[in-house]
Chain A
Amino acid sequence: MKDLLIVEGTLTPLSSKTHITYQFNIPGPAESLRIDFSYSPKVLDDKEQARVLIEEALDKYVDPSLQAVYKEQWEKFAPLKNLLTLSIDDPEGFRGSAHRHPNHQHHVLSPHESSPGFFAGPIHEGVWRVTISVHCVVTSECRYQLHIREGEIDHEVASI
């Protein structure tokens, strides 16, 4: 096991609709790549804040004639959630993504098997990129951690 990238950061709602890309070098062919990614909090717990954001969205997206009905049921759209997703590019191009909701994720890429969302294939040496797509931050702060390691082959191809 060899660490390739250990990074973390703090986001605010202003980071919604942005991408954060880290570029790192793999010095020689590797047997596998292991990625741990997490962010927190996942959910906006403050009900009043949620209500304001939901009503704003309903004003924006619902036909005026239906807005009152939707607003009565605003709680149906709660809790609001942060959503950050991960995608990877290897030296040859797009290598897959994990567009899903859990905020703790573990991915393995290897020549014959990869975690769902990613393509199996050699872990070439060269410049790789990992991109965090910040679809939405609704909490005042959202912290993320990303840890990428080179690893040996085993048969555990886990993912959440």
Chain B
Amino acid sequence: MKWLPFELHTHTPHSDGIHTLLEMCRKAAELGFRGIALTDHNTTSGMADAAQVTEETGVAIIPGLEWTTFYGHMLTLGVPYCEWRDLGPKDIHKGIDRVHRQGGVVGIAHPFSLGSPICTGCHWEYEIQDWNQVDYMEVWHETLPPMRNHNAPAFEQWTNLLNQGYRIAGTAGRDWHHSNDESDPPAYTYLGIVGDTDALTKEQAVDAIRTGRICISMGPLVTIELQADGQSYHTGDVIRRSDCANVETVELTVRIDHPSIASRRQMVQEEGLTVIVESNLGECCRSALADGATVFQHSIRPEKLLWLRVRLYGMLSGVLSTIAFTNPIYFED
């Protein structure tokens, strides 16, 4: 498996974006992305140029779409257009089924953005009867996401849902409409890609999101591994309680890989990082990382754990902030 940075929320002139797919993918390559999801509002016609743009830029293009409805914006990935115009505020599960039946995944975009009439349909107002049907939530939206007000309640809602036992992936999305050099930096959504990474497919990206092999970061890739009774588990994996019944603790290893891109290394200070281990029981541990260290280890008692993730905290463009977070490793009975 390889961890590759993606941008999962983008627009072109096929909806209201300013940059063409080619302009955007050139810029994406410069920013260090290996792939993007093309998620124009309510159409997939922009995919007509995708193969040629990938050939020219090396950036994989995953077909997607942003359902831009009256009651919320929902990202769909890996499927063609699915009908939304007949759905009311209590019908979202009918819509989610249409995406799932064709093998795609759905994610709630910017759930806490301001809604109509300031931004039409931008605040999530659909009634969700079963959160198990929601594959992911865009908990970091727009550029420099940890600094934005509307992402705080999104991150909190995600955490609450994890606490209730739902397994929902957390992603970042720039909602990229315009490539220019002055804009603030976007986050990376690192996806754990299985199989050949030379010619990335939509199936590989969809599989990574569905299984929660995801790390969100302003720069460094953070991966987690849990050793339990001789077995090892990674981001997105599920540990059965019976598989760690014989041990008092499970051993957590956190690895931090700083990206090679110079602009990222300038933005995220590599000294003074703090590793925070979070779970349904709250914070398990908070520890300053020795300067230059890229590995952190900690023993954790597994009982009563439903999920566990790691957050990296430090200086981002001169401000103390969350720098990165992993998706959880889950526990089940």
A contacts, CB < 8 Å to B = 16-17, 19, 53-54, 57-58, 60-63, 66, 77, 80-81, 83, 85, 87, 94, 96-101, 114, 116-120, 131, 133, 135-136, 138, 159
**B15 and A131 form a contact (CB under 8 A):** no
**B149 and A66 form a contact (CB under 8 A):** yes
B contacts, CB < 8 Å to A = 12-16, 40-43, 45-46, 48, 68, 70-71, 81, 83, 85, 112-118, 120-121, 123, 149, 153
Measured between beta carbons, the chain A residues less than 8 angstroms from B115 are 57, 60-61
The interface residues of chain B, by DSSP majority, are classed as loop
**B114 and A16 form a contact (CB under 8 A):** no
**B114 and A119 form a contact (CB under 8 A):** no
Whether A96 touches B120, Cβ cut-off 8 Å, given contacts A17-B70, A58-B114, A133-B85, is no
**B45 and A114 form a contact (CB under 8 A):** yes
Of all chain B residues, which has the CB nearest A16?
B116
**B116 and A57 form a contact (CB under 8 A):** yes
The docked-state distance in angstroms from the alpha carbon of A135 to that of B48 is 27
Q: How far is the CB of B223 from chain A (nearest CB, A)?
A: 33
Q: Of the candidates B42, B46, B71, B120, which one forms a contact with A83 in the assembled complex, judged by CB atoms under 8 Å apart?
A: B120
The docked-state distance in angstroms from the alpha carbon of A57 to that of B24 is 33
Q: Of the candidates A66, A114, A119, A135, which one forms a contact with B121 in the assembled complex, judged by CB atoms under 8 Å apart?
A: A135
Given contacts A19-B85, A135-B121, 9 further A-B contacts (CB under 8 A): A57-B115, A94-B81, A96-B43, A98-B15, A99-B41, A99-B43, A100-B16, A116-B12, A118-B43
Q: How far is the CB of A12 from chain B (nearest CB, A)?
A: 14
- 23 residue pairs A–B, Cβ–Cβ below 8 Å: A16-B116, A17-B116, A53-B117, A58-B114, A60-B115, A61-B118, A77-B118, A94-B83, A97-B42, A98-B43, A99-B15, A99-B43, A100-B15, A116-B13, A116-B14, A116-B45, A116-B46, A117-B15, A117-B45, A118-B45, A133-B70, A135-B68, A138-B117
Whether A135 touches B116, Cβ cut-off 8 Å, given contacts A114-B45, A117-B43, is yes
Measured between beta carbons, the chain A residues less than 8 angstroms from B70 are 16-17, 133, 135
**A77 and B85 form a contact (CB under 8 A):** no
Q: Of the candidates A53, A87, A101, which one forms a contact with B42 in the assembled complex, judged by CB atoms under 8 Å apart?
A: A87
Q: Of the candidates A19, A77, A99, A101, which one forms a contact with B114 in the assembled complex, judged by CB atoms under 8 Å apart?
A: A77
Measured between beta carbons, the chain B residues less than 8 angstroms from A133 are 70, 85
Measured between beta carbons, the chain A residues less than 8 angstroms from B14 are 116-117
Nearest first, the 6 closest Cβ-Cβ pairs linking A and B are: A99-B41, A135-B120, A17-B70, A100-B16, A97-B42, A99-B15
Measured between beta carbons, the chain A residues less than 8 angstroms from B15 are 97-100, 117
**B117 and A80 form a contact (CB under 8 A):** yes
The docked-state distance in angstroms from the alpha carbon of A117 to that of B149 is 32
The docked-state distance in angstroms from the alpha carbon of A118 to that of B149 is 35
**B42 and A136 form a contact (CB under 8 A):** no
Whether A85 touches B42, Cβ cut-off 8 Å, given contacts A61-B114, A94-B83, is yes
Measured between beta carbons, the chain B residues less than 8 angstroms from A58 are 114
Measured between beta carbons, the chain A residues less than 8 angstroms from B48 are 119-120
Q: How far is the CB of B324 from chain A (nearest CB, A)?
A: 25
Q: How far is the CB of B153 from chain A (nearest CB, A)?
A: 7
Measured between beta carbons, the chain A residues less than 8 angstroms from B45 are 96, 114, 116-119
Measured between beta carbons, the chain A residues less than 8 angstroms from B81 are 94
**A136 and B114 form a contact (CB under 8 A):** no
Q: How far is the CB of A96 from chain B (nearest CB, A)?
A: 5
**B85 and A61 form a contact (CB under 8 A):** no
Measured between beta carbons, the chain B residues less than 8 angstroms from A118 are 43, 45
Of all chain A residues, which has the CB nearest B113?
A61
The docked-state distance in angstroms from the alpha carbon of A131 to that of B42 is 13
Q: How far is the CB of B286 from chain A (nearest CB, A)?
A: 25
Q: How far is the CB of B67 from chain A (nearest CB, A)?
A: 10
Measured between beta carbons, the chain A residues less than 8 angstroms from B113 are 61
**B118 and A80 form a contact (CB under 8 A):** yes
Measured between beta carbons, the chain B residues less than 8 angstroms from A101 are 16
Of all chain A residues, which has the CB nearest B120?
A135
